[in-house]
Structure 1
Amino acid sequence: MKRSGPLFTLFAGLALGLVMLSLNATTGEAGAPYGGAPAASPSSARPTATPSTKPVPSNPAGGKTAYAGRTDDDTAAVSVSVRGDRAIAYYCDGRTAESWLKGTVADDGSMRLSGSKGAKLDGTLRDDRIRGTVEVGARDSAFTARKAVKPSGLYRATTEVRGATIDGGWIVLPDGRQVGIVQRGDVPGPAPRIDPETGAVTVDGERLTARPVLP
């Protein structure tokens, strides 16, 4: 019995060592590098979204904006009404020369409009203004038209009075000045003032309403 004592102690020590090894193996974190933090989970390594760099058009589709101004030589007024990618413009000297023009606006803000008798307007919309040239008859003029806040902008009224067609166009400038022509049949002449708040105007005794022009 006395000789079995050391053997028993030896076997007990071996058993305790095996138990400790087993505990260390089962409590270690799988995938963790030695002395470092656990590896990142797949969900934490997802790439972040990249902001869109798509350019914003000068006049987004569906937007409605009017621009009004004068030619550089101050002899006439120009107004352009833009809705989405379409535009309509009116050139008027307030006496006898006028032209209605229409066309489209490109994504970069450039526009090329055309009217009767070879009239044309080339311009570029940037921020709150249109800068370009307009050619009506033999006159070619540079112009700047700035964004118009109501009641500034472009107006038109058309009716028939005593068998004659009346067609009037008006540009109300940001400073309140008005430039317009009324065509009585084929005869142009200076237009009477409109009420900029209501568009009301009397032409040859006939009460009319000039309304904002949209493409």
Structure 2
Amino acid sequence: MKHPGPLFTVLAGVVLAGGIGIANLATGTGATPVAGSAGAASATSSQAPAATSAAPKSEAPKADAPARADYAGHVTGGGASVAVSVRDGHAIAYLCDGKKVEAWLQGGTAGGKLALKGAKNASLTGSFDAASVAGTVTAAGKTWQFSVPTAKKPAGLYRATPKVKGTAAKVGWIVQPDGSQVGILTTGDDSAAAPALDPAAGTATVDGAPVTAEPVSGLAGSGDF
């Protein structure tokens, strides 16, 4: 009998290879499924950071600046008082030390910010919200820092324009939230402490005569100060 030749050996190899391929398809262990699984795992891995990233923290909202408010108090360190009245985009402020230094200032407001100007290069800048106003005020060559609370009537800012011995005069008062007050009476080039104001009645006695004090708002009351 003759031994199988080379052709028989080749045919046997083809049959064997075909059997292995069929078995792989039946059991799901072929090369293509393995490559697909690796790709899916890679895609899942690349998406994981996005799924687990933390959302950015949001800042707490700031208190809204009121359209209308009045503030009064002492500058930082004492030595003077300041009052500010805000009305619908406009503000009037008054700085007073109760002796000689005083300044009336006014200007616009926007976004809770103040930028007020007065005579003789007086200025006030700051910000305000529903609870307080804070900033810097400059007058008579001096600068003060301040942070003062809201003021409810009768606290706040007042003024009057009486006559003293026949001469036109001006008076400004700041009534503090605790009821204390400070003011200046100016007659010509002379300044002195203002007479006591009765906030409930809105009157004071100047040069022996009764005078009506006008509450100052951010829209009116500063006159030509």
Q: Same fold (TM over 0.5)?
A: yes
Check whether the contact 1:109–1:126 (CA below 8 A) recurs between aligned residues. yes
Q: CA RMSD in A?
A: 1.5
Q: Confirm or deny: 8 A CA contact 2:66 2:129 kept in the other structure.
A: no
Tell me the secondary structure at the aligned position of residue 117 of structure 1.
helix
* 2:165–2:207 CA contact under 8 A, matched in 1: no
In the other structure, the counterpart of 1:66 is 70
- Per-residue deviation, residues 16-48 of structure 1 (Å, max 9, x unmatched): xxxxxxxxxxxxxxxxxxxxxxxxxxxxxxxxx
1: CA distance, partners of 2:202 / 2:195? 11
- Larger Rg over CA atoms: 2
Q: Name the CA distance, whole Å, in 1 between partners of 2:97 and 2:210.
A: 24
Query: Aligned partners of 2:72, 2:64: CA distance in 1, in Å?
Result: 20
Q: What is the alpha-carbon distance in structure 2 between the residues aligned to residue 181 and residue 56 of structure 1? A: 34
Match of 1:180? Answer: 183
C-alpha distance in structure 2 between counterparts of 1:139 and 1:56, whole Å: 31
What are the superposed Cα offsets for residues 53-109 of structure 1, whole Å, 9 maximum, x if unpaired? xx995123xx3x211011101010000011110000000000010000000110x20
**Alignment equivalent of 1:93, drawn from 97, 115, 120:** 97
Match of 1:137 among 133, 137, 140: 140
User: Deviation string for 1:130-157 (max 9, x for gaps)?
Assistant: 0001001121110112110111000000
The match for 1:203 among 195, 203, 206 is 206
Indicate whether 1:157 and 2:154 are aligned. Answer: no
TM-score (norm 2): 0.67
Flag as ranges the 4+ runs of structure 1 deviating above 6 A.
none
1:100-139 to structure 2, matched below 5 A, reads 100-106=104-110, 108-139=111-142
Aligned residues: 157
> Offset at 1:173?
0.3
The amino acid of 2:142's aligned partner reads R
Q: CA deviation at 1:128?
A: 1.4
Maintained 8 Å contact 2:164/2:187: no
Identity of aligned residues (%): 44
1:123 and 1:91 map into 2 onto residues whose CA distance is 14
8 A Cα contact 1:80 1:145, kept in partner: no
Cα distance between partner residues in 2 of 1:180 and 1:162: 20
For 1:13-32, list aligned pairs within 5 A.
Answer: none
Query: Gapped runs of 5+ residues in structure 2?
Result: 1-61, 220-225
Letter in 2 for 1:95: K
Judge conservation of contact 1:59–1:85 (CA < 8 Å) in 2: no
Unaligned residue ranges in structure 1 (runs of 5+): 1-54
Worse-matched range after superposition: 152-161 or 81-90: 152-161
- Alpha-carbon deviation of 1:160? 2.5
Displacement of 1:162: 3.5
CA contact (8 A) 2:64 2:129 kept: no
Question: 1:191 is aligned with what amino acid?
Answer: A
